[in-house]
C-alpha cells in the first residue's frame, strides 16, 4: 500500500517504520510526513508522542483522535523547508463534502536526539465544495464520487 504522506513510497518502508517505532525520522520533513500519515490513519498515540514534552501536556489521545476522525485526509503537499527546523505544507482534507486545507509552517526541535513538533503558524485557506463528478482531490485520477465520496 502507498504511504498516506504522498511520497509515492510503500507505507512499510516510509512512515510505517516510524509508526511501528522501528526507526525515528531523521529530518523535520520526515517527521511532518509521518505525523500527517498518522492523522490519516488515526494513530493518535504516535501523534502525541511526536509533540515536544511541553506540548504533550496541552493535548490528549482523545482530542487527537476526535480531530483525526472528524475529517478524511486526502493529500499532503510539501511547500518548502525554509530552514533546517521548519516545514511549510498544506494538508488537504474532506469535511462534510467540502475540501479544506490546513496550511501551516511548522517548527520542530530536537529532544533527546529525536525531532519533535513544537508549534506552527497557520495561514488562512477557504473550503471548496466538491461536486460528485469533479476530480477527486487526492489526485487519484478518479471522479470524487468513485473515490473518496464512497
Residue 87 lies in a domain: yes
Neighbours of 141 (CB within 10 A): 9
Top-confidence residue, 141 or 75: 75
| Cross-strand partners of 91 | 76, 102
Residue 110 lies in a domain: yes
- Residue 71 maps to which CATH number? 3.10.450.50
The Cα–Cα gap between 9 and 90 comes to: 19
Structural domain range at position 15: 11-146
Residue 19 lies in a domain: yes
Q: What is the pLDDT of residues 70-124, one digit of tens each?
A: 999 999 999 999 889 999 999 999 988 889 999 999 999 999 999 999 999 999 8
Amino acid at each position: 500500500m502507498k504511504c498516506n504522506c504522498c511520497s509515492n513510497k510503500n507505507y512499510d518502508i516510509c512512515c510505517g517504520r516510524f509508526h511501528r517505532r522501528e526507526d525515528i525520522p531523521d529530518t523535520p520533513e520526515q517527521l511532518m510526513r509521518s505525523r500527517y500519515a498518522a492523522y490519516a490513519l488515526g494513530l493518535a498515540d504516535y501523534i502525541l508522542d511526536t509533540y515536544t514534552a511541553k506540548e504533550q501536556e496541552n493535548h490528549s489521545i482523545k482530542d487527537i483522535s476526535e480531530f483525526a476522525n472528524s475529517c478524511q485526509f486526502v493529500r499532503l503537499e510539501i511547500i518548502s523547508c525554509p530552514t533546517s527546523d521548519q516545514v511549510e505544507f498544506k494538508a488537504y482534507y474532506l469535511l462534510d463534502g467540502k475540501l479544506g486545507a490546513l496550511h501551516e509552517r511548522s517548527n520542530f526541535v530536537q529532544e533527546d536526539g529525536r525531532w519533535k513538533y513544537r508549534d506552527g503558524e497557520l495561514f488562512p485557506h477557504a473550503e471548496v465544495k466538491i461536486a460528485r463528478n469533479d476530480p477527486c482531490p487526492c489526485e487519484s485520477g478518479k471522479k470524487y464520487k468513485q473515490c473518496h465520496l464512497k
